[in-house]
Structure 1
Amino acid sequence: MRFADRTDAAERLAEALAGYRGRRPLILAIPRGALPMGDLLAQRLGGELDVVLVRKLRAPFSPEYAIGSVDEHGWTYIAPHAHGTGASDRYIEQEKREQLAVLHERRNRYTPGRAGIDPAGRVAIVVDDGLATGATMVAALHAVRARGPERLVCAVPVASIEALELVRPYADEVVCLHAPPDFYAVGQFYRTFGQVDDEEAIALLRQAGQPPAQPS
């Protein structure tokens, strides 16, 4: 299975999540790539769009490879393989501080003057454009679970089998359209997989009724 782009993936996810239509779900996108998908899901399901802010912790010699993740409140997931990549405890703490600084800056830009929309008592659907290691999704699900949703759903178009096994305990339901055994990178399952920049992310939140500040 391949997706034309994130819009195509989101349309297919909306079909898989149709049972939540009419329940005003809170769609929580992981910036930045998942924001266009979250926006479309919110429209199709009659839900509300917001972001859940998390960052992966990068391996020391391979910044695209996740050795863990952190949410904006400082909760950290460290993968079992982290130290095997050459990441010392000191390196991990420094990487955590750097990523927390990015998260705080993004919160100020995306939703200035407020925390995220409260998921307490609501169906919360956390969406990303794909899971390679699953580390970032773990932090996102943990952050949302801590705020007491009625039901917590992880929704992705594609994921590695290992990532799905990792995230399942953190969600009430995992919706994944494709889990191939030959997974190498999320982008291999999209014909078009361009970057989503901050300006687009801010515009999507504004259109969804959230008034984030303009980027400086």
Structure 2
Amino acid sequence: MIFENRIDAARRLAAALAQYRGARPLVLAIPRGAIEMGRVLADALDGELDVVLVTKLRAPFSPEFAVGAVDESGWTYVADYAARVGADPAYLEAERRRQLEILQARRHKYTPARQPIDPAGRTVIVVDDGLATGATMIAALHAVRAKKPAWLVCAVPVAARDSLDKVGRYADEVVCLHAPEDFGAVSAFYLDFPQVDDDTVAALLAGRKPARVVVEK
């Protein structure tokens, strides 16, 4: 299965999540890539959009590869293979501190005039554009679970099969449209997979049309 772009993927996810229309779900996108998808899902399901701020811990000498993830509170998930790729405790602590500073800056930019929407007692759908290692999604689900949602859903268009197994322990439900045997990278399953900047995230959260991205209903 190949998606035209994130908007196409979000529309297909919305169809798979149609049972939640009318339940006023809270859609929490993992920035930055999933923010466009979150906007589409929230609109399609008559829900609300916000972000859950987490970021991966980068592997030494391979910044695109995640060895874990951290959320805004500082809670850290470390993958079982981290030490094998050179991420010892000292490296992980330094990387955690670097990424926490990034998260704090993003929170200030994304929602400067309000607090995050409270997920307590609500149906919450956490969305990302795909799962490679699953580390970021695990941190996101852990962060949301701590705030006591009534039902917690992980929603992704595509995922590595072993990552789905790991993520499933942290959610009440996992919705994934495609889990190929040979995964590779998330971007390989999109014809168009542009970078998303912080201004786009802030605009979508504020209900404005981004300068560079057109979000269609």
Query: What TM-score range do you get, normalising by the shorter chain?
Result: over 0.9
Partner residue, 1:174: 174
Residue by residue over 1:105-152, the C-alpha shift from the partner in whole angstroms, topping out at 9 and shown as x without a partner, is 000111114431000000000000000000000000000000000000
Partner residue, 1:146: 146
CA distance in 2 between counterparts of 1:28 and 1:88 reads 31
SS in 2 for 1:170: coil
CA distance in 2 between counterparts of 1:181 and 1:91 reads 32
CA distance in 2 between counterparts of 1:154 and 1:46 reads 18
AA partner of residue 103 (structure 1): L
SS in 2 for 1:207: coil
Partner residue, 2:15: 15
CA distance in 1 between counterparts of 2:207 and 2:115 reads 18
CA distance in 2 between counterparts of 1:114 and 1:77 reads 27
AA partner of residue 138 (structure 1): I
Partner residue, 1:103: 103
AA partner of residue 204 (structure 1): L
AA partner of residue 124 (structure 1): V
Partner residue, 1:121: 121
Residue by residue over 1:10-35, the C-alpha shift from the partner in whole angstroms, topping out at 9 and shown as x without a partner, is 00000000000000000000000000
SS in 2 for 1:77: strand
Equivalences for residues 20-169 of structure 1 within 5 A: 20-169=20-169
**Where in structure 1 do 4 or more consecutive aligned residues deviate above 6 Å?**
none
Partner residue, 2:212: none
AA partner of residue 107 (structure 1): R
Residue by residue over 1:19-59, the C-alpha shift from the partner in whole angstroms, topping out at 9 and shown as x without a partner, is 00000000000000000000000000000000000000000
CA distance in 2 between counterparts of 1:143 and 1:23 reads 22
Percent of aligned pairs with the same amino acid:
65
CA distance in 2 between counterparts of 1:44 and 1:113 reads 26
TM-score by length of 1: 0.95
TM-score by length of 2: 0.95
Partner residue, 1:196: 196
SS in 1 for 2:169: helix
AA partner of residue 109 (structure 1): K
SS in 2 for 1:69: strand
CA distance in 2 between counterparts of 1:175 and 1:105 reads 31
Partner residue, 2:214: none
CA distance in 1 between counterparts of 2:115 and 2:158 reads 29
List runs of 5+ in structure 2 lacking aligned partners.
209-217
SS in 2 for 1:174: strand
Shift of 1:87: 1.1
SS in 1 for 2:191: coil
